Amino acid sequence: MILAPQRSPEGAGGAAPGRRAEAVPLIALHDVAKVYPNGRQALIDVDLLIPEGDFVFLVGPSGAGKSTLIKLLIRDELPTRGAVFFDGRDVVRLRRGEVPRMRRRIGIVFQDYKLLPRKSVAENVAFALEVTGALGRVVRPAVERALAIVGLTAQRDQLPTQLSGGELQRTAIARALVHEPKVIIADEPTGNLDPLTSWEIIQLLLRINDLGTTVLMATHNAEVVTALRRRVVALEEGRVVRDELGGAYHREY
Amino acid sequence: MILAPQRSPEGAGGAAPGRRAEAVPLIALHDVAKVYPNGRQALIDVDLLIPEGDFVFLVGPSGAGKSTLIKLLIRDELPTRGAVFFDGRDVVRLRRGEVPRMRRRIGIVFQDYKLLPRKSVAENVAFALEVTGALGRVVRPAVERALAIVGLTAQRDQLPTQLSGGELQRTAIARALVHEPKVIIADEPTGNLDPLTSWEIIQLLLRINDLGTTVLMATHNAEVVTALRRRVVALEEGRVVRDELGGAYHREY
Amino acid sequence: MLRFLVFSLRRAWQGFWRNVVMSLAATATMVLMLLLMAGLVIVLTGLNAGLEYFERKVEVEAFLVNEASPPEIEAAMAEVRALPEVSAVRYVSKEEALQRFREFTAAQGQPDLTDVLPSNPMPASIEVDLVDPLVYGEVVKTLEAQEEVVDAVLQTRDVVEALLTVTGTLRIGGLVVLGLVGLTVFFIVINSVRLAVVARADEIEIMRLVGASDAFVRWPFVFEGMLVGLLGAIVTLGVLALAYQPLSRLMFDFFQVLPLDFGRFVMRDVALLVVGSGVGLGALGSYVSVRSYLAR
Amino acid sequence: MLRFLVFSLRRAWQGFWRNVVMSLAATATMVLMLLLMAGLVIVLTGLNAGLEYFERKVEVEAFLVNEASPPEIEAAMAEVRALPEVSAVRYVSKEEALQRFREFTAAQGQPDLTDVLPSNPMPASIEVDLVDPLVYGEVVKTLEAQEEVVDAVLQTRDVVEALLTVTGTLRIGGLVVLGLVGLTVFFIVINSVRLAVVARADEIEIMRLVGASDAFVRWPFVFEGMLVGLLGAIVTLGVLALAYQPLSRLMFDFFQVLPLDFGRFVMRDVALLVVGSGVGLGALGSYVSVRSYLAR
Ligand SMILES: Nc1ncnc2c1ncn2[C@@H]1O[C@H](COP(=O)(O)OP(=O)(O)OP(=O)(O)O)[C@@H](O)[C@H]1O
Ligand SMILES: Nc1ncnc2c1ncn2[C@@H]1O[C@H](COP(=O)(O)OP(=O)(O)OP(=O)(O)O)[C@@H](O)[C@H]1O
Ligand SMILES: [Mg+2]
Ligand SMILES: [Mg+2]
């Protein structure tokens, strides 16, 4: 609890500058390792500080550990070693009831979408608001706005099985935005989108970031990463091999 | 049955030249339309001839109907109007027992992978061979070779839930290759892969194509499409809006 | 709170219909199990009513001396009637006794021996019905004290006890069977609700990842289980209502001696039992099943 | 063909363990249902044995004139014994008859009236056991023809028929209950196997899209269903074996007159029934469930 802010100035060492290093880091990983039960070492020696309001690209080849890192942040998996802090609280030590509350403050786009199979597009998006206890009259307009942003107004009543790959992905994005979370964590949110739609989504994330929302985005989209020159954290075989401001996608993975 | 070959010379009109227009078209769509039960018109007036040995990119914005077209080819969905031919046979009129036989001659990478959730990577890949009635002693080495090609030898015994997004996609690719099919149909096979691995997969498909296998690949990867200068079929709102040899990805979708 | 309830109920209703194959399969199981249980309860209640009828026939009988005069007999009967253990007292004359004996032996298929007798050997008697067939209290002593009237008191204690052993055994046997079948019903229903929830484990996981609290996930499932139980109970009651006429006729044929108001009361109890256990088991099954996914 | 069989069996085994929660839930249902059925069959068989014993007590009785001489009686008995409907013939002396009557009335709780009689009024008699209690054939006529020995033949036809009505009702009632429970078991098991298959509908769809033929998809599922059934049957037999001792003691207490070899034979039949219906229902349930997904 106290650890995270304290260690923030020197914590990440030379490799992790952070755009606003003095600010309280919203996300902090200290010396994190993750070994899956089958023995696979997905993360090793990961130190990472993400200050509030940052925009971070997480890159790395397939199997580097990007999704694993994201799973640790939302406590979908527990680290084998080290500590994970979200907003100053140790994610591992949260009490049962606190975990859902923490997750509600994050908007997540899962790599495999994780949409509820028996709910329509609109219901899936609404769900993220409903869990926060929002009133029905607040939910409806917010959902419509989110669907309009990702261009799914026409598909609002289709079930996930009736959607194209890109539409599934956009539904997942809409769900991550709808409750206006403090942080948006997006795992490969444009993999199934055409370049034009991809750019629109990225622009959207940039605008949201400008309004103060922290964004962490795992991606393989070299063009976008290189063009935007934001902070880039590169993983390779579970290690952070690069963490630079204004980075390019760099090396062909 | 006789229709397809006969109509092949003039069938597709000016928009669809085809690299070897005189050859027997392996895949032929005549005036195909698909309206889903909920009323959504996914394909309209689609005519398409793909001669044996061709390499075709299928491009178009999200929701254009690419996956729907592929579903019609393997009889996962039935066309509302028009005829779909595979190797000279009307796919819609196949008898029950013939459908699996037809599917076994195609290697498909589904956009959502469609891996068997309770089978390991190796078992999933082996499955495509086992359904053909291949002997156990043939299956093993073929599976190992396919896994080596996509770089999943180390993950051979993991279940789908234990794989990264790119690993899932590569498993699906390995399954599509393992039985050395006549055609490979890949729906967005590199969406979750880093650029390096994507290029490796594309190179692999090109090599397989050189050996005579027909390849149809739906993709949003503008870089790849533009660089390779192969035949490009573009869909937009269910219509074929472009079909050119040596095309670029073109227009930002 | 109320908002959450309404919300959960709506969710439950949706969940039921969007999983309609699963839901109906679970409902079908529920119906069969409830029918099994209701059928057993009805049969056992009938059996019980039959047994009670037999037990009510238990009585104390005092044989009277031939010389006893009507006023003396009246006095003796009044004294016995005053005892708290006694529910009724009857006088049986010598002629009545002989008649009964003849009927009895005829019913048993025994040859009628009374024809060869020189005179009526049967004594007159006083029959005493007890409130509780096992509590004799002062009855026997009181009767034996009337020496000028009573010749001997029939010690039917052995017979009564034999009879009560049989009815007791049947009752316990019935309860044991009911208990076993009840347990079976319990596990089967829980099991099939569980199967339906297991099939939706992924859904539960997704809900949790998106920030749903345990209560938010649980209650719609519990209500859905209750819905399955309620629907199952309604169908069961429908089937029972259809079967009521032929069933009650069969019951009367079988246990000819049932009190006439048997049917109505039992059916009300059975209806409560069916609805209660349907809804209860549905809720419990869902609760338990969902819990195992929330516990993680 | 054999290769396919081995392949399918291996797949079934894998499928069972990779769905272990589902499989065990289905197995648990199977066990409970088989226990229910086996228990019912055992009880009904016991009841049946008891009823047969009663029926076997049905006999024809000829009262003899007091003057009949031993050789005459012997001759009459020999003639009756020769009839094909007859299974046994016994002589009951006057003393024996009186003794029996005393025991009988004592058991009924009736006062012993024989003490007041001047002499033994009971006649000697010949008791005839019938092969089939309903087929009297020539027995009565033959007995009545022996005029110098036989006084009267006891016409127990009514009693016999009353008794047989009761036993018949009990038997039919038992069979009806068995049939209903059997149907319930059938549907429940099919249903729970179906639930397990429904949960894997996606898997079946994927297999088909990759080019699996119907047989390729179906047989592993059918064998998996059989595996569930077999496992359920084995567990059921285990439970029955454990319950055998206390159960058979209870049975003997209840139907005191059972033939001694009852237990062993019934258990063999029950074992066959349990294994057969477990495996059969498992296979049928899978077959039907998978078919509905293949039909599309
Ligand atoms: N539940 C699991 N059990 C075992 N191994 C796992 C599990 N989940 C992931 N892994 C392994 O951990 C490694 C890292 O996985 P992760 O999903 O973090 O990769 P990634 O960087 O997201 O890759 P991609 O770009 O392909 O999505 C992979 O090699 C994967 O096989
Ligand atoms: N089963 C279905 N029922 C109803 N509508 C459907 C169904 N499947 C697809 N659609 C609709 O048909 C349209 C075309 O879908 P399709 O999956 O073919 O798109 P796509 O070109 O593959 O898009 P993407 O690049 O996003 O994968 C979409 O708008 C989608 O919503
Ligand atoms: Mg990933
Ligand atoms: Mg698609």
For B175, the domain range is: 117-180
Q: Which residue, B180, B205, B221, sits at the end of a domain? A: B180
Interface ipTM > 0.90: no
- Give me the long-range contacts of D249-258 (CB less than 8 A, separation at least 24): D251/D42, D251/D46, D254/C169, D254/C173, D254/D46, D255/D46, D255/D47, D255/D49, D255/D50, D255/D53, D257/D50, D257/D53, D258/D46, D258/D49, D258/D50, D258/D53
Q: How far is CA B107 from the centre of its chain?
A: 7
Q: Are residues C218 and C77 in the same domain?
A: no
- Closest residue of chain C to A119, computed from CA coordinates: C18
Does the pLDDT of residue C252 top 90, yes or no? Answer: no
* Nearest-neighbour CA in chain C from D288: distance (Å): 14
* C209 to A104: CB separation less than 8 angstroms, yes or no: no
Give backbone dihedrals phi and psi of A113, rounded to 5 degrees, phi first. 65, -45
Q: Are residues D15 and D87 in the same domain?
A: no
Domain for residue D154, yes or no? no
Q: Are residues A65 and A75 in the same domain?
A: yes
Domain for residue D90, yes or no? yes
Least confident stretch, A69-83, B173-187, D119-133: D119-133
Of all protein residues, the one whose alpha carbon is nearest to atom 27 of ligand 2 is: A165
CATH number for position C131? 3.30.70.3040
Phi-psi region of A60 (alpha: psi -120 to 50; beta: other; left: phi over 0): left
Q: Are A16 and A76 in contact (CB under 8 A)?
A: no
Least confident stretch, B43-52, D43-52, D238-247: D43-52
Q: Are residues C208 and C78 in the same domain?
A: no
Chain A hits for C213, Cβ within 8 Å: 97, 100-101, 131
Quick: pLDDT tens for B73-93. 999 999 999 999 999 999 999
Domain for residue A110, yes or no? no
* Nearest-neighbour CA in chain A from C211: distance (Å): 4
Chain D hits for B127, Cβ within 8 Å: 207, 210, 212
With a pLDDT cut of 90, the percent of chain C lying above it is 17
Considering only the beta carbons, identify the residue of B96, B100, B110 that sits closest to D211. Answer: B100
Q: Which residue has the tokens 């034979």?
A: D265
As a whole number of angstroms, the distance between CA B49 and CA B30 comes to: 8
The β-bridge partners of B27 are B50, B86
Give backbone dihedrals phi and psi of D256, rounded to 5 degrees, phi first. -55, -20
Tell me, what's the pLDDT at C44?
74
Of all protein residues, the one whose alpha carbon is nearest to atom 3 of ligand 2 is: A162
Q: Which residue has the tokens 């992790």?
A: A16
Domain for residue A222, yes or no? yes
Q: Which ligand is nearest to the CA of A80?
A: 1
If DSSP codes are grouped into helix, strand and coil, which group holds residue C100? helix
Please give all residues whose beta carbon lies within 6 A of any atom in ligand 1, as ranges.
A 36, 38, 40, 42, 60, 62-68, 111; B 155, 158, 162-167, 192
Does the pLDDT of residue B4 top 50, yes or no? Answer: no
Considering only the beta carbons, identify the residue of B96, B100, B118 that sits closest to D212. Answer: B100
Number of neighbours of residue B150 by Cβ within 10 angstroms:
26
Q: Which of A155, D198, D209 is nearest to B77 (CA)?
A: D209
* C211 to A116: CB separation less than 8 angstroms, yes or no: no
**Residue with the larger pLDDT of the pair C258 and A140:** A140
Quick: pLDDT tens for C194-228. 877 888 888 999 999 999 999 999 999 999 999 99
| pLDDT band (50, 70, 90) for residue A63 | very high
Domain for residue D180, yes or no? yes
Q: Are residues A130 and A185 in the same domain?
A: no
- Closest residue of chain B to D294, computed from CA coordinates: B96
- Cα B228 to Cα A150, A224, B50, B109, B248, distances in angstroms: 31, 21, 18, 20, 8
Q: Are residues D196 and D251 in the same domain?
A: yes
Q: How far is CA C104 from the centre of its chain?
A: 31
Q: Are residues B157 and B189 in the same domain?
A: no
Q: Which residue, D148, D176, D192, sits at the end of a domain? A: D148
Q: Are residues A9 and A64 in the same domain?
A: yes
Q: Are B54 and B12 in contact (CB under 8 A)?
A: no
Q: Are residues C174 and C289 in the same domain?
A: yes
Q: How many structural domains compose chain A?
A: 2
As a whole number of angstroms, the distance between CA A165 and CA B219 comes to: 11
Q: Are residues A141 and A174 in the same domain?
A: yes
Domain for residue A111, yes or no? no
Q: Which residue, C122, C148, C174, sits at the end of a domain? A: C148
Q: Which residue, D114, D148, D182, sits at the end of a domain? A: D148
Q: Are residues B247 and B237 in the same domain?
A: yes
- Cα B177 to Cα B144, B230, C26, C102, C175, distances in angstroms: 12, 21, 42, 97, 65
Q: Are residues B129 and B145 in the same domain?
A: yes
Average pLDDT, stretch A3-28?
48
Q: Are B57 and B232 in contact (CB under 8 A)?
A: yes
Pair of tokens at residue C149: 């009237």
From the CA of B187, how far away is ligand 4's center (Å)? Answer: 7
Most confident of C47-51, C248-252, D193-197: D193-197
Least confident stretch, C8-22, C80-94, C115-129: C115-129
B158 touches chain A (CB under 8 A): yes
Length of chain B measured in residues = 253
**Which of B155, B158, B164, B193 for a ligand 1 pocket mutation test, highest count of atoms within 8 Å of Cβ?**
B164
Give the end-to-end CA distance of chain A in Å, rounded to a whole number: 36
Domain for residue C88, yes or no? yes
Q: Are residues C132 and C184 in the same domain?
A: no
Q: Are residues A162 and A55 in the same domain?
A: no
D10, D19, D210: best to mutate for the B interface, most B CBs within 10 A: D210
Q: How many structural domains compose chain C?
A: 2
Domain for residue B91, yes or no? yes
| pLDDT band (50, 70, 90) for residue A76 | very high
Query: What is the 8-class DSSP label of residue B16?
Result: -
If DSSP codes are grouped into helix, strand and coil, which group holds residue C40? helix
Interface chains of chain A (3 or more CB pairs under 8 Å): B, C
Q: Are B103 and B89 in contact (CB under 8 A)?
A: no
Q: Are residues D47 and D178 in the same domain?
A: yes
Considering only the beta carbons, identify the residue of A96, A101, A131 that sits closest to C210. Answer: A131
Domain for residue C10, yes or no? yes
Nearest ligand 1 atom, CA A70:
18
Q: Are residues D91 and D127 in the same domain?
A: yes
Chain B hits for A59, Cβ within 8 Å: 194
Q: Are residues A152 and A251 in the same domain?
A: no
Q: Which residue, B180, B200, B223, sits at the end of a domain? A: B180
Domain for residue A112, yes or no? no
Tell me, what's the pLDDT at B21?
45
Cα angle C200, C202, C208; round to 5: 110
With a pLDDT cut of 70, the percent of chain C lying above it is 73
A110's CB contacts (< 8 A; 6+ apart) are A172, A187, C209
As a whole number of angstroms, the distance between CA A108 and CA A113 comes to: 9
A166 touches chain B (CB under 8 A): yes
Average pLDDT, stretch B148-163?
94
- Give me the long-range contacts of D248-256 (CB less than 8 A, separation at least 24): D251/D42, D251/D46, D254/C169, D254/C173, D254/D46, D255/D46, D255/D47, D255/D49, D255/D50, D255/D53
For chain C, counts of helices (H) and of strands (E): 9, 4
As a whole number of angstroms, the distance between CA C34 and CA C32 comes to: 6
| pLDDT band (50, 70, 90) for residue A126 | very high
Average pLDDT, stretch D224-228?
93
Least confident stretch, A22-36, B196-210, D94-108: D94-108
C207 touches chain D (CB under 8 A): no
Quick: pLDDT tens for A77-118. 999 999 999 999 999 999 988 999 999 999 999 999 999 999
For C199, the domain range is: 2-53+161-294
Chain A hits for C212, Cβ within 8 Å: 100, 127, 131
Q: Are residues C201 and C230 in the same domain?
A: yes
Q: Are residues D143 and D172 in the same domain?
A: no
Nearest ligand 2 atom, CA A167:
26
Domain for residue C165, yes or no? yes
Domain for residue D266, yes or no? yes
* Nearest-neighbour CA in chain B from A195: distance (Å): 5
* A100 to C214: CB separation less than 8 angstroms, yes or no: yes
* Nearest-neighbour CA in chain C from A160: distance (Å): 13
Does the pLDDT of residue D242 top 60, yes or no? Answer: yes
Length of chain C measured in residues = 296
Domain for residue B195, yes or no? yes
Q: Which residue, A145, A162, A180, sits at the end of a domain? A: A180
B153 touches chain A (CB under 8 A): no
CATH number for position A99? 3.40.50.300
Chain D hits for B174, Cβ within 8 Å: none
B10's CB contacts (< 8 A; 6+ apart) are none
As a whole number of angstroms, the distance between CA D167 and CA C96 comes to: 32
- Cα B165 to Cα A7, A111, B74, distances in angstroms: 33, 7, 25
Strands (E), chain C: 59-64, 86-92, 125-130, 150-154
From the CA of B72, how far away is ligand 2's center (Å)? Answer: 12
Q: Are residues A93 and A214 in the same domain?
A: yes
Does the pLDDT of residue B8 top 50, yes or no? Answer: no
C184's CB contacts (< 8 A; 6+ apart) are C33, D32, D33, D35, D36
Q: Are residues C225 and C262 in the same domain?
A: yes
Quick: pLDDT tens for A193-226. 999 889 999 999 999 999 999 999 999 998 889 9
Domain for residue B110, yes or no? no
Q: Are residues D215 and D108 in the same domain?
A: no
Domain for residue C111, yes or no? yes
Q: How far is CA A170 from the centre of its chain?
A: 15
Chain B hits for D9, Cβ within 8 Å: none
* B128 to D211: CB separation less than 8 angstroms, yes or no: yes
With a pLDDT cut of 90, the percent of chain A lying above it is 78
Q: Are residues A87 and A198 in the same domain?
A: yes
Of all protein residues, the one whose alpha carbon is nearest to atom 17 of ligand 1 is: B164
Least confident stretch, B133-142, C68-77, C263-272: C263-272
Q: Are residues B188 and B146 in the same domain?
A: no
Domain for residue A151, yes or no? yes
